[in-house]
Amino acid sequence: MYEERFSRTAGATLWTRTADGTPQRVLPDGCTDLIVIGGELVVAGPDTRAHLATGLPGTRYLGLRFAPGRGPALLGVPADELRDQRVPLGALWSGREARVLAEQVVEADDPAEVLARIAADRQRTSPPPDPLVTALVPALRAGEPVAAVAAAAGLGERQLRRRCLTAFGYGPKTLARVLRMNRALRMARDGVPYATVAAAAGYADQAHLAREVKALAGVPLSELPVR
């Protein structure tokens, strides 16, 4: 079972998951997560393809998901160094600091609150995310062409790509594909017919939607839980 709750950390969502013994397909979403796994803090970088999360039945996971562009700034690591990776926090920060923080979370009466506090404290002392690049996310999510987005930001496409790699882990075109797929799946989960979803999300047709979902999610659209 997967659940989300409000987080006081700006641009982040707290979540919990209890494993049932079957792999969970985690789809690319442009986000970076800080996760408590087996008493250790682990960073899940932005994915370019689906990741299968496994665990023994009853195993509980706690995570803090940062919106696209926000996590790498807080962690102090360019997003492209975390792309498609699951990295112990101790490999990014000092090992001792990571162990102490993990102990604080695991031993707390409310681990979620402590995890959020740790992130909020770090956020106050870290450089802010690239404001120009993160401001582009709504436009890309809405389906604006990358060239138009770059022009509106006053950046060349190469400049935009470099800054996107640092902030998101991949270039704006890949980010746009990921955001478009998630927008399409949200509509499908609301019961919108696939052909209508394809047109509304900016795909050429339903076949294009199916190809993109298969490429990013690793399975056909019909095999994803959309209801």
Per-residue pLDDT at 73 exceeds 70: yes
CA distance 96 to 165: 29
Joined tokens for residue 217: 């999610």
Distances (CA, A) of 138 to 9, 15, 29, 31, 86: 20, 23, 14, 14, 27
Number of continuous H segments (helices) and E segments (strands) in the chain:
10, 8
Q: How many residues are given for the chain?
A: 227
Domains of the chain, by residue range, sit at: 2-125, 131-223
**Per residue in 175-220, pLDDT tens?**
999 999 999 999 998 999 999 999 999 999 999 999 999 999 999 9
Res 227: pLDDT: 45
Whether this model's pTM surpasses 0.95: no
CA distance 223 to 31: 23
86-88 sheet: strands from edge to edge? 2-5, 12-18, 60-66, 32-37, 40-44, 86-88
Res 29: pLDDT: 94
Neighbours of 107 (CB within 10 A): 10
Fold of 131-223: Arc Repressor Mutant, subunit A (1.10.10)
Distances (CA, A) of 38 to 8, 35, 41, 47: 24, 10, 8, 22
CA distance 143 to 52: 27
